[in-house]
Structure 1
Amino acid sequence: MSIKDKIKENKALKRLTIWLLMPRNQARPRLWVRLLLNPFKHKRGKHTTICRSVRNDLLPFRNFSIGSNSTVEDYATLNNGVGDVYIGNNTRIGIGSVIIGPVTVGNDVRFAQNVVCSGLNHGYQDVTTPIWKQPVTTSEIIIGDETWIGSNSVVVAGVTIGKHSVIAAGSVVTRSIPDYCVAGGNPAKIIKQYNPATQTWEKPIQVAL
């Protein structure tokens, strides 16, 4: 049995390990983790900038990588506590945006300001237990290459947004969006989709019920 498996099976050892990695009731890892462990575990491409004010809630027992020529702007949050986070090349994560894994962001993607992508949900079914104490569920978010997500948008767990799509500002994306679409609203709906046959962006056909 590996050391990792032993820690998972022993509750006391698991609590001690988590305490060593981060303070009680906190998501941000301790300084020694950020300085001595994460640089060897996590990968950062060339010419990539993660601004100093970014909250890096990144732990060594999950994966994090960001490609080349990418930027994470000020006051954003990166969190891989319950799921891996992958960010591609030539991608910009806008001011104040939040990424909570599991999330995969492709290449040449743009997040505007205050975009939230969270692959995490809290359980709530047990009414005798506070929600924050209940087990979490995760479902990966995938953001395709060349996609633009407008400011103040929310992408919920399990959603895939296709390649070269646009999400209008203030949208709540609760269902997957195909490639080459413009979508918006709460919940987000497809407004236009590229038709390769006509080489134009067309409104979806409304089907009468």
Structure 2
Amino acid sequence: MSLVTTIKSNPGLKKFVHSLIVNKRRAEPWFWIKWFVNPFVHKRGKGTVVKYYARLDVYPFNDFRLGSKVIIEDFAVINNGVGGVLVGNNVGIGLSNVIIGPVTLGNYVMLAQNIVISGLNHGFEDITTPPRLQKVTTKQITVHDNVWIGANSSVTAGVTIGKNAIIGAGSVVTKDIPEYCVAVGNPARVIKKYNFETGSWERV
């Protein structure tokens, strides 16, 4: 039996190990995880820049990977506590973005400012228990290559955005967006699609 299996099969041991990894009072990894564990567990590609005021709340028990030539701007927050976060090459993560796994970003994805991409939801079914204390659910978010998401947009759990799609500023994406489309609004809907025969973006 592996060490990981042993820990997972023993609730008391699992709780103890979790306390060594997660600072519950601050909802982030302990400093020794950030300094002495994550650099050896998670991969960061060549030429990638994480600005000083960016916050990486990443843990060794879930995937976290940054491709090459990624830039994460100040005040962005990335959290893989409930699901992996995988970022491709040449990705720009803008000022004050929040990314909570499970999330996959393809190559050349461009995120403007104040964007929330969260694969996490809290339960609310039991009205005798605060939502903060109820069980969380997660659904994978996938953003394919060459997508541009405008400022102040939100992408909700379970959504897939196809390659070369454009999401207008202030949009709330609650359903899948096909490739080569422009979507805007709350909830976001497709207003344009690229016509390969005419070589132009056309209204739908």
| TM-score normalised over the length of structure 2 | 0.97
The answer to whether the 8 Å contact 1:114/1:153 transfers is yes
Show the counterpart of 1:207: none
Which has the higher mean CA deviation after the structures are superposed, 167-176 or 194-203? 194-203
1:130 positional shift: 1.5
Which residue of structure 2 aligns with residue 124 of structure 1?
Answer: 124
What corresponds to 1:185 in structure 2?
185
2:197 is paired with a residue whose SS is coil
Residues 71 and 91 in structure 1, CA contact (< 8 A), matched pair in contact too: yes
> How far is the alpha carbon of 1:67 from its aligned partner?
0.7
Q: What corresponds to 2:55 in structure 1?
A: 55
Q: Which amino acid aligns with 2:82?
A: V
Q: Answer yes or no: is the 8 Å Cα contact 1:168–1:184 preserved in 2.
A: yes
1:23 Cα deviation from its structure 2 partner: 1.5
Shift of 1:8: 2.0
Segments of structure 2 that go 5 or more residues without pairing to the other structure are: none
SS in 2 for 1:36: helix
Looking at structure 1, the residues matched to 177 and 69 of structure 2 have their Cα atoms a distance apart, in angstroms, of 26
Q: Which amino acid aligns with 2:55?
A: R
Matches within 5 A, 1:98-117: 98-117=98-117
Q: How far apart are the structure 2 equivalents of 1:151 and 1:24?
A: 31
Structure 1 counterpart of 2:97, which letter? S
Q: CA deviation at 1:12?
A: 1.8
* CA-to-aligned-CA distance 1:152-181 (integer Å, 9 cap, x gap): 100000101111111011000000101111
Q: Does 1:89 align with 2:84?
A: no
The CA deviation at 1:22 is 1.8
CA distance in 2, matches of 1:135, 1:8: 18
Q: Is residue 64 of structure 2 the alignment partner of residue 64 of structure 1?
A: yes
Instruction: Report the CA distance between 1:197 and its aligned residue.
Output: 2.4
CA shift for structure 1 position 9: 2.6
Kindly indicate whether the alpha-carbon contact (under 8 Å) linking 1:116 and 1:154 is maintained by their aligned counterparts in 2. yes
Aligned residue type for 1:65 = R
Structure 1 SS opposite 2:29: coil
RMSD of equivalent CA atoms: 1.0
* Whole-angstrom distance in 2 between the partners of 1:2 and 1:130: 37
2: CA distance, partners of 1:155 / 1:23: 27
Whole-angstrom CA distance in 2 between matches of 1:34 and 1:165: 34
Q: TM-score, normalised by structure 1?
A: 0.94
Q: How does 1:163-202 map to 2 (within 5 A)?
A: 163-202=163-202
